[in-house]
Amino acid sequence: ILAISFLIFSVLLTTAAYLHHVWVAVSVVSLLAIASVATHTIPFALVAAWFPEERAFYLGILNVFSVIPQIIDTLYTGFIASKFGEPFLFLIGSIWALSASIFALYSLPDRATELSYLSTT
């Protein structure tokens, strides 16, 4: 589900770069919100399920590694927007979301592994 959510996020960010009508933009942003909810809640739910004893510690680490890229993005987005235009920022976000989708698809353990881990704790 997480990989699909990132993929939807990537596709919607790509289309957001080329929007010219307000009603289409509102529709895309509404769909982005649904995908965004999944991308912001599923990782925290997975960490809480995988590490029940040390939940606070690992949720804190996940939160830090969620915020650091946002801080780093503020350092270069103004330059990119001034050089290439604001729609280019949507395309960069789309590339990052697509790479997150591939990462989630191939690097997260499958459901059987997750369930066997949860049943032993």
Question: What tens digit of pLDDT does each residue of 84-117 get?
Answer: 988 888 888 889 889 988 888 887 766 545 555 5
Q: Is 111 exposed, middle or buried (0-12, 13-18, 19+ CB in 10 A)?
A: exposed
Tokens 């589900």 map to which residue?
Answer: 1
The yes-or-no verdict on residue 52 having pLDDT over 60 is yes
